[in-house]
Structure 1
Amino acid sequence: MGKNALTEIKQTLDGYIGHRIRLKANSGRRKTIERTGVLEETYPSVFIVKLDEDQHAFKRVSYSYADILTESVELTVYEDDQQVRVKYVKN
């Protein structure tokens, strides 16, 4: 189940490459970091987000698909006028 879940999340994100996204990441001790940018690339274990230059000190960040699976990262994709939340749903 674990390997299939990560593959499904990667395949979902493959369809959103180039779209604007918003990340909410838990950084421990009740701290959350919110970032916006563009989904730039997906790799077998991680995905890369190019951040908006005017809002962040870093140019790019990477997260693993396991971060989405464990819900330590919330990923929202902006598609046309809609917001699509990316998460894994067990069947």
Structure 2
Amino acid sequence: MSLPDIKSWIQDHLGSNIKVVEQAGRKRTNEYEGVLSEAFPAVFIVDLKSAEQPAHVSFTYGKILTEDIKVVFV
């Protein structure tokens, strides 16, 4: 999958429920669940459901390309 394909895939799912698993170290991961709220030219924004985490989190499309994050639409 190329970067333009990833951008278009993300933009096609605006408003959808999303789960993002981010590699945070050797054997650590961070999981985020929420709604894909916005997509900009370099990043996309997820509004989180959990009150323990910040209200929003942003990710770059390149992180999907390099497999630093895994994205699943629920």
Measured in 2, the distance between the counterparts of 1:52 and 1:37 equals: 5
Structure having the higher Rg: 1
Secondary structure (helix, strand or coil) at the match of 1:57 reads: coil
Q: Which has the higher contact order (CA 8 A, sep 6+)?
A: 2
Number of positions where the alignment pairs a residue of Structure 1 with one of Structure 2 = 74
1:41-56 maps to which residues of 2 (within 5 A)?
41-54=38-51, 56=52
CA gap of 1:34–1:53, structure 2 versus 1, over 3 A, is closer
SS of alignment partner, residue 74 of structure 1? strand
| 1:75 equivalent in alignment to 2:54 | no
Q: Aligned residue for 2:28?
A: 31
Unaligned runs of at least 5 residues, structure 2: none
Is the counterpart of residue 5 in structure 1 residue 22 in structure 2? Answer: no
Give, as a single letter, the amino acid of the residue that structure 1 aligns with 2:62.
A
C-alpha root-mean-square deviation of aligned residues, in Å?
A: 1.4
* Segments ≥4 residues shifted beyond 6 Å: none
Alignment of 1:53-64 (within 5 A): 53-54=50-51, 56-64=52-60
What is the CA-CA distance between 1:53 and the residue it aligns to?
Answer: 3.7
- The alignment's TM-score, normalised by the length of structure 1, stands at 0.76
Percent sequence identity over aligned pairs: 35
